[in-house]
Amino acid sequence: MPSPLPDRYDFATEPATYQAWVEAGAFTAHPERSARVGGDRTPYAIVMPPPNVTAILHVGHGLNNTIQDVIMRWARMKGAEALWVPGTDHAGIATQNVVEKLVASEGHTRFDLGREAFVKRTEEFVAKTGGTILEQLRAIGASADWTRTAYTLSPELSVAVREAFVRLYERGLIYRGHRVTHWCPRCLTSLSDEEAEFNDEPGKLYHVSYPLADGSGRGLIIATTRPETMLGDVALAVNPNDDRYRDLIGKMVKLPIVGIEIPVIADDYADPAFGTGVVKITPAHDANDFEVGKRHSLATPVVIDEHGAMREVADADNRVPAELEGLDRFVARDRIVEMLRASGALQKIENHDHAVRHCYRCDTVVEPRLSDQWFVTMEPLAKPALQAVRDGAIRILPERWEAVYVNWLTNIRDWNISRQLWWGHRVPVWYCDECDPPQNIIVSRDDLTECPYCGCAVRQDEDVLDTWFSSGLWPLSTLGWPNEKAPDLQAFYPTDTLVTAPEILFFWVARMIMLGYEFEGRAPYHTVYLHGTARDTQHRKMSKSLGNGIDPMDVIKLYGADALRWTLIAGMGMGADVVLDPNDLDKSFATGRNFGTKLWNIGRFLLDRVGQEPVQPLASVDRASMTRADQWILSRLDAAIADCDRALGPLWPTTPHASADGRVWKESERYAGLKLNEYAEAARQFVWNELADWYLESLKARLDVPGADREVARSVLVYAFDQALRLLHPVVPFVTESLWQRLPGHEDGTLLVSASWPQALAAAPSRAAQEFEQVREVVLAVRQIRGDNSVAPGKMIEVVIRPAGGAERAPGELLQHELPTIGRLTRSEPRIAADAPTGAAAHAVLSGGTEVIVPLAGLVDIDKECARLRGEVAELEKQIPAREGRLNNAKYVERAPANVVASDREILQEMKTKRDQLVEKVRSLCGA
RNA sequence: GGGCGAAUAGCUCAGUUGGUUAGAGCACCUGCCUUACACGCAGGGUGUCGGGGGUUCGAGUCCCUCUUCGCCCACCA
């Protein structure tokens, strides 16, 4: 039994409410209920983008998970068997960096500890501090199924990772490649193309002269941004069609500093238009040069080591002078430039902006490095992933990201999946030193100690897999794959929607889709919802390093989780960034806090005036006994439900399709749904601007008088508020649940979280509802007149209502009936008149033609009123000729649709009538 | 360099296939401490729809162009 209602919503009760949901099993999914395995509910599943296991909650997580929670709660209320899978990502490189720093603070490197000890240390660290974020997600109300919490490095998921690797290898889609890849000299690992992020930076273009070896004194001038790599040069390349250098092809030049001779070769790679048209070829330190070198069978001397220091690593006999040995690449660059300048080889230095790749984890400038890595052949995987979006089996919201997705997949490049890290899934490959290729490489699902061919000892590959390889399997692995019989896999795969930020569209989303098709033949979900970024008022991305972030936990402490949620959801257009002020939480979250308070106060009013005695169910209340206001609010509720449903759209695609996915989005619904802010706004509009502002106000008198009418009012009010709480629950689950528990007649033990989504009652508003709408118009008109004429708020005024002629039902009768309401809502004494009163008066004409007249004698400054009326006339005098001109245009009348022309005529007529009335009024009031 | 998108109120954004007098939230201004709520109530739109040109009876909407901004991709050393 809930405690008596406090004056203020106490959000300190949120954890208890959350606990009640968990204890009721409200978030726990039941695979046997899924229609896919013979149950009676359509499944709806979301896999949570697993936060890094060491992460703590920031606004980005808050936004991401609130969106998911809104969708999950909505789906659950719609009757779906809802599953939201939570979990964390071991985040190989990120977590390893964190622990390395920890170890460094103790004066050690990971190499001091050794692999085994370091991994153990990391495991301990994760066990102790990891998963904090999952606790925090509970605080924001995330209705995830915690009985299924997953972790990318768990034994179960590791099985999936290994299975995936082996299957891809067996299909020939994983291969060992010897090539130049991105290398982070700080993290000491290779990176994928996606992990090496471009950054446009000002740089220099150095022009260096390479003299011909024939002693002719001629030379070739090359342009380079990275002179330090010249120690590894093996050739100069010119374009075969470049007449300037044709005669030099095949000649030798002398490599400055090193002093050896290298050939001039012809290759299309050299662009005659760039720089001098001559490019130096350094196969070991540039991915393009490596390709050129391969074409020309050139050597690959390595002159920069894994730390980014100059050193003779391989095939580099005496290329690195002693004075450069061991120098960092950037220090070496300066030194080399000096040496070139001293020798006269340096021709000039130009400023040159170019894109430099940085490590996405530590921001170190990436060094291209020649190494052996495992790659996934992407093109065959990309094909179905592309087709899925083209067919509409998958939609990406907002729509514009589909083009980005398609573009990337169309030009996809192979994926480097091996990392020279210790934290992660070890590559399931073993090497036998005794066997000959190809038997010396064994890929295995099980750990091996001896070679299956010769029986001697084998050693496992030292590398681990890219973190994104395991997260790419997330929708599969968390549901039990590769066990095809796993109940969750059968019941919930494919899942439904994926909610994430666009930054990881390629890192993660595209790869999940590709792997989903590869291993299950189906897309992992039908909807990808990409949301915006949390930014500060200067539109800078919120980040730890900038110190402009907002801690969601602070917001929850100050205003409660609902305030946070409402602010994020209601203030966010699809895919648009959320702008918040980290220096003014009060202002930033006022919307959410205020809305929660408003809801609470509606609840207080209701409980105070309606009482705790059960109400008659609405279905048993005779429509005839309802007032116009009752019918009006019920029709507004229907409209609100329809608006919410429209904004949210269908839960899943409904059009059957021959593809493996079975269903595709039809064009009309493809980009229509999940407009969460529109949904929130529609619900807010109803509960605040209609239920509270009008219905509640109109009810005050009725609730004070015992009797049959009071009972009707109680039923309608409780019904309408109950439905409103349901509509709002997905966004503000805590406050709605607390209020719902206290509704009169509430059945003990039932929870709003498991209640059903509202359904509209009637197709069209009844006449009584429309009549209340007219009354509302009168009130609005009177308020406006009061405001325009600065009538003191406390002042009672007389309002004269002149019904329009020819109305089907005498509006006078209707208005008479509602006069008590009008009077109370406007502080006025209305009366009905057949004729307009004489003397100065303010008029308003309602949509049906009914006139509202407020005699102004003694109320207002007549001069001011005259000025206002004259202004109105002038405005109309301006608009009328424009419209007349249009109607006099023969082509317009002839070609525009008849209804447009007709309404145009009507408007013109109305304007003229209104002008005439105003002119008449000005004459009588002001005498001119 | 290629591609995509955006430009509408002070801010964040809606604005369906061209069609009546361009909307919402927040902010702001005015007046109210009316017994659910000042975290509230009532009233108020503050706009050459980025500039220019075109198509059309009619353009915020379609076309061209210019300007500015954002995002994604990319091997000009």
Residue with CA nearest to B25's C1' atom: A571
Considering only CA atoms, name the residue closest to the C1' of nucleotide B42. Answer: A783
The pLDDT, as a whole number, for residue A272 is 84
Per CA to C1' distance, which residue is closest to B57? A892
CA A531 to C1' B49, whole Å:
26
Contact (Cβ atoms closer than 8 angstroms) between residue A301 and residue A270: no
CA–CA separation, A870 and A851 (whole Å) = 20
Q: CA A408 → C1' B65, Å?
A: 30
- Provide the CA A898 to C1' B51 distance, Å, integer: 36
Show the tokens assigned to A407. 């573009």
Nearest residue to B73 (CA, C1')?
A: A408
CA dist A504 and A513 (Å) reads 13
- Among all strands, which nt has the closest C1' to A779 (CA)? B42
Closest nt by CA–C1' to A9: B39
Structure tokens at A26: 């409200």
| Dihedral (CA of A762, A763, A768, A771) sign | positive
| Å separating the CA of residue A899 from the C1' of nucleotide B44 | 33
Q: What is the Cα A263 distance to its own chain's centre?
A: 54
pLDDT of residue A923: 78
- Start-end of H helices in A326-419: 329-343, 379-391, 400-410
A853 token code pair: 């007249």
**Burial of A271: CB neighbours in 10 Å, binned 0-12, 13-18, 19+:** exposed
Q: Nearest nt (C1') to A903 (CA)?
A: B20
Q: Gap from A459 CA to B23 C1', in Å?
A: 69
A272-324 pLDDT, tens digit per residue, is 888 788 999 999 999 899 989 988 999 999 999 999 999 988 888 888 889 98
Please measure the distance between the N-terminal and C-terminal CA atoms of chain A and give it in whole angstroms: 71
**Collapsing DSSP states into helix, strand and coil, what is residue A537?**
coil
Give A539 CA → B10 C1' in Å: 16
Protein CA at A574 to nucleotide C1' at B8, angstroms: 18
DSSP three-state, residue A521: coil
Task: Please tell me the number of Cα atoms within 13 Å of A273 on its side-chain side.
Answer: 0
- Nucleotides on chain B that have an atom closer than 7 A to a protein CB are 2-5, 11-14, 19-21, 24-27, 31-32, 34, 36-37, 39-44, 56-58, 71-77
Cα A360 to Cα A467: distance, rounded to the nearest angstrom: 13
B20 C1' to A678 CA distance, Å? 26
What is the token pair recorded at A314? 């391989």
Q: Which nucleotide is at minimal CA–C1' distance from A609? A: B36
Nearest-CA residue to the C1' of B40? A598
> For residue A866, what pLDDT is reported?
75
Nucleotide with minimal C1' distance from the CA of A606 is: B36
Closest residue, by C-alpha, to the C1' of B32 = A793
Measure A580 CA to B27 C1' (Å): 13
d(CA A233, CA A240): 20
- Of all nucleotides in the shown strands, which has a C1' nearest the CA of A793? B32
CA distance A306 to A581: 43
Spatial distance from the CA of A206 to the C1' of B31 (Å): 71
From the CA of A868 to the C1' of B44: give the distance in Å.
14
Question: What's the CA–C1' distance between A401 and B71, in Å?
Answer: 10
A557-579 pLDDT per residue, tens: 999 999 999 999 988 877 788 88
The pLDDT of residue A700 is: 84
Contact A360, A195 (CB under 8 A): yes
d(C-alpha A896, C-alpha A893), whole Å: 6
Of A838, A621, A599, A813, residue with least CA distance to A722: A599
* Residue whose CA is minimally distant from B20 C1': A904
Rounded, the Å distance between the CA of A570 and C1' of B33 is: 30
pLDDT value at residue A174: 95
Distance A823 CA to B48 C1' (A): 43
Smallest CA-to-CA distance from A394 within A522, A525, A293 is with A525
Number of H helices, E strands in chain A: 30, 33
Nucleotide closest to residue A788 (CA–C1'): B43
Instruction: Read off the pLDDT of residues A578-621 as tens digits, 9 standing for 90 and up.
Output: 888 888 888 888 889 999 999 999 999 988 888 888 889 999 99
User: Which value, to the nearest 10 degrees, does the dihedral of the CA atoms of residues A94, A99, A104, A110 take?
Assistant: -90
Mean of the per-residue pLDDT values of chain A? 87
Strands in A750-895 per DSSP E: 797-802, 828-832, 841-845, 851-855
Minimum CA–C1' distance nucleotide for A197? B73
Neighbours of A702 (CB within 10 A): 20
Q: Give the per-residue pLDDT at A499.
A: 94
How many Å does it take to go from CA A916 to C1' B48? 30
B36 C1' to A609 CA distance, Å: 9
Q: Which helix (H) or strand (E) holds A37?
A: none
pLDDT at position A1 is: 40
**Distance from C-alpha of A317 to C-alpha of A258, rounded to nearest angstrom:** 10
| CA–C1' gap, A897 and B63, in angstroms | 24
Distance A28 CA to B37 C1' (A): 37
Nucleotide nearest to A282 (CA to C1'): B77
A664 CA to B17 C1' distance (Å)? 23
Map A411-451 to HEC letters. Answer: CCCCEECEECCCCCCECCEEEECCCCCCCCEEECCCCCCEC
Helix (H) or strand (E) holding A490: helix A487-492
Distance A448 CA to B26 C1' (A): 63
Of A488, A648, A491, A527, nearest in space to A41 by CA: A491
Q: Which nucleotide is closest to A229, CA to C1'?
A: B77
Q: Which nucleotide is nearest to A590 (CA to C1')?
A: B39
Q: Residue A468 CA to chain centroid, in angstroms?
A: 19
Residue A705 DSSP symbol: S
Q: Which residue is nearest to nucleotide B36 (CA to C1')?
A: A605
Among A1, A6, A20, which residue's Cα sits nearest to residue A752? A20
Three-state DSSP state, A500 = strand
Which nucleotide is closest to the Cα of A890 by its C1'? B57
- Nucleotide showing the shortest C1' distance to residue A677 CA: B25
Number of neighbours of residue A170 by Cβ within 10 angstroms: 10
Residues 6+ apart with CB under 8 A from A642: A760
In the structure, how far is the CA atom of residue A891 from the C1' atom of nucleotide B64, in angstroms?
A: 26
| Residues facing residue A437 across a β-bridge | none
**Rounded CA separation A550/A558 (Å):** 12
Give the nucleotide at minimum CA-to-C1' distance from A598.
B37
DSSP string, A805-842: TT-SS-HHHHHHHHHHHHHHHHTEEEEE-SSPPSSSEE
- Nucleotide in closest CA–C1' contact with A535: B12
A633: tokens are 């609010």
Q: Alpha-carbon dihedral of residues A128, A130, A131, A133, nearest 10 degrees?
A: 120
* Nearest residue: Cα versus C1' of B38: A594
Specify the DSSP class assigned to residue A520. H
CB A257 within 8 A of CB A217: no
Distance, Å, A417 CA → B33 C1'? 67
Contact indicator for A354, A203 with CB cutoff of 8 Å: yes
Q: Please report, as a single letter, which amino acid is at residue A397.
A: L
A700 nearest nucleotide via C1' and CA: B36
Q: Quote the CA–CA distance of A417 and A466 in Å, as a whole number.
A: 5
Q: Which of A893, A627, A901, A897 lies closest to A768, judged by CA?
A: A627
Cis peptide before A487 (omega within 30 of 0): no
Low-confidence ranges of chain A (pLDDT < 70): 1-4, 658-661, 763, 804-815, 831-839, 847-848, 857-861, 864-865, 927-928
Pick out the nucleotide with least CA–C1' distance to A279: B77
